[in-house]
Amino acid sequence: MRFGERLAAAVARRGPLCVGIDPHPGLLASWGLPQDASGLERFALTCVEAFGDEVAVVKPQSAFFEAHGSRGVAVLERVLAGLRDAGALVLLDAKRGDIGSTMAAYAAAYLADGSPLAADAVTLSPYLGFGSLAPALEAAAAGGRGVFVLAATSNPEGASVQRAEGADGRSVAQAVVDEAARANAGAHPQGDVGLVVGATLAELGLDLSALNGPVLAPGFGAQGATVADLRALFGPDLRGVLPTSSRDVLRHGPDTASLRSAARRVRDSLAL
């Protein structure tokens, strides 16, 4: 099955929620864990146990694992395998973007069969040009995987690039949307090229009507976005929107049952 099909099936079965695994130092400390690879491992594998058989999509943040060097990357490999075995789709938040053979190497790492870091989908940055992502899109299609491309993020620094207008009057973000729509054209029930659009944006200013793909909406919960905000941004029909919550759920650790219950509450609150 293509990624778009698998994602639609997972959301229908488990609800429209993506939970992040973000083992940053503050959370390790709040869980009473050491700031080293052993603490990282305990944190991450607790999350696998809590979320792997509960939510549709789990999103490990690669940087927090990489910060611990080779031992941290080894933990990430275990997380990817554990979540996959538990039935969750894994979206690796790596935000990679480069050109030529380097982009092809990233694609081989995160999207190729047999790679220990291969996930169901990976986040990508298109700001070296959407065309530079071609090796990743090709690898994803070949392996039944997906990508989520940064389009409109909620950090203040992003607006100067993402909202800049080209010669045709479109914003850079809208050009990204339109390229993703082209890649998804004709796919059913949705394509494999998703977008990342911040749920905390004051207004969207994007036409997503032709996207035919999923939208990852980080910022739900602790960062302030509500269901009403999602509807205001994306319209009343939120099919295809995948809200993401991390801190709002992870603050309930380290107890596995409490983490699982928190994920259920956030998921049930969506009622999309």
* CA gap 93, 231 in Å, rounded: 24
Residues marked as catalytic: 95
Greatest pairwise CA separation for the chain in angstroms? 54
- For 246, residues 6+ apart whose C-beta sits below 8 A from its C-beta are 19, 20, 21, 22, 59, 61, 218, 221, 222
Nearest to 54 by CA among 17, 80, 81: 17
Q: DSSP character for 154?
A: S
Nearest to 60 by CA among 103, 122, 3: 122
